[in-house]
Amino acid sequence: MSLTPFSRWPEAFTERYREAGYWLGKPLNHMLEEQARSQPDAIAVVCGSRQLSYAELDAASSHFAQWLANHGLGQGDRALVQLGNQAELYIVFFALLKAGIVPVNALFSHNRIELRAYAAQVRPRLLIASRVHALFAGDAFLEELIELVPELDTLLLHDDDHPGQRLANWFTPAPATCAFAPTPADEVAFFQLSGGSTGTPKLIPRTHDDYYYSVRRSVELCGFDRQTRYLCALPAAHNFPLSSPGALGVFVAGGQVVLAPDPGPASCFPLIARHRVNVTALVPSALSMWLQAAPDHPDELASLRLLQVGGARLPEAVARRVPQALGCRLQQVFGMAEGLVNYTRLDDDDEHTYLTQGLPMSPDDEVRVVDRQGNLLPAGQVGALMTRGPYTIRGYFQSPEYNAHAFDAEGFYRSGDLVRQREDGYLEVVGRIKDQINRGGEKIAAEEVENLLMAHPDVTQAALVSMPDAAMGEKSCAFIVSRDPALRGIALRKFLRSLGLADYKLPDRFERLDALPMTAVGKVDKNRLRHHIAEQLTVTE
Q: Which residues form the interface with ligand J2J (CB under 6 A)? A: 195, 239-240, 243-244, 310-313, 332-337, 341, 357, 415, 417, 429, 432, 438, 443
Residue 237 CB, nearest approach to ligand J2J (Å): 11
Give CA separation, 47 vs 50, 89, 513, in Å. 5, 11, 49
Residue 231 CB, nearest approach to ligand J2J (Å): 16
Compare residues 61 and 214 and give the one whose CB is closer to ligand J2J: 214
The amino acid at 55: A
Chain position whose Cβ is nearest to ligand J2J: 335
Residue 340 CB, nearest approach to ligand J2J (Å): 9
Compare residues 74 and 310 and give the one whose CB is closer to ligand J2J: 310
Give CA separation, 518 vs 86, 137, 529, in Å. 47, 44, 10
Compare residues 239 and 353 and give the one whose CB is closer to ligand J2J: 239
512/489 Cα distance (integer angstroms): 9
How many other CB atoms are there within 10 angstroms of residue 134's CB atom?
A: 11
Residue 122 CB, nearest approach to ligand J2J (Å): 18
308/303 Cα distance (integer angstroms): 15
Residue 75 CB, nearest approach to ligand J2J (Å): 27
Residue 297 CB, nearest approach to ligand J2J (Å): 26
Give CA separation, 11 vs 15, 16, 18, 186, in Å. 6, 9, 11, 12
Residue 384 CB, nearest approach to ligand J2J (Å): 11
Compare residues 254 and 310 and give the one whose CB is closer to ligand J2J: 310
Q: What is the DSSP secondary-structure string of 77-132?
A: -EEEEE--SSHHHHHHHHHHHHHT-EEEEE-TT--HHHHHHHHHHH--SEEEEETT
Compare residues 300 and 448 and give the one whose CB is closer to ligand J2J: 448
Instruction: Name the burial class of residue 220, with classes exposed (0-12), middle (13-18) and buried (19+) by CB atoms within 10 angstroms of its CB.
Output: middle
Compare residues 228 and 239 and give the one whose CB is closer to ligand J2J: 239
Instruction: Name the burial class of residue 422, with classes exposed (0-12), middle (13-18) and buried (19+) by CB atoms within 10 angstroms of its CB.
Output: middle
Compare residues 100 and 249 and give the one whose CB is closer to ligand J2J: 249
**Helix, strand or coil, per DSSP, at residue 358:** coil
186/338 Cα distance (integer angstroms): 16
Compare residues 52 and 369 and give the one whose CB is closer to ligand J2J: 369
384/421 Cα distance (integer angstroms): 10
SS (H, E, C) 393-424: CCCCCCCHHHHHHHECCCCCEEEEEEEEECCC
Residue 204 CB, nearest approach to ligand J2J (Å): 8
Compare residues 102 and 283 and give the one whose CB is closer to ligand J2J: 283
Residue 230 CB, nearest approach to ligand J2J (Å): 14
- Phi and psi at 83, nearest 5°, equal -130, 150
Compare residues 229 and 443 and give the one whose CB is closer to ligand J2J: 443
Residue 242 CB, nearest approach to ligand J2J (Å): 8
Compare residues 207 and 244 and give the one whose CB is closer to ligand J2J: 244
Residue 426 CB, nearest approach to ligand J2J (Å): 12
**Closest-CA residue to 238 (of 101, 335, 121, 315):** 335
102/85 Cα distance (integer angstroms): 20
SS (H, E, C) 294-310: HHHCCCCCCCCCEEEEE
155/119 Cα distance (integer angstroms): 13
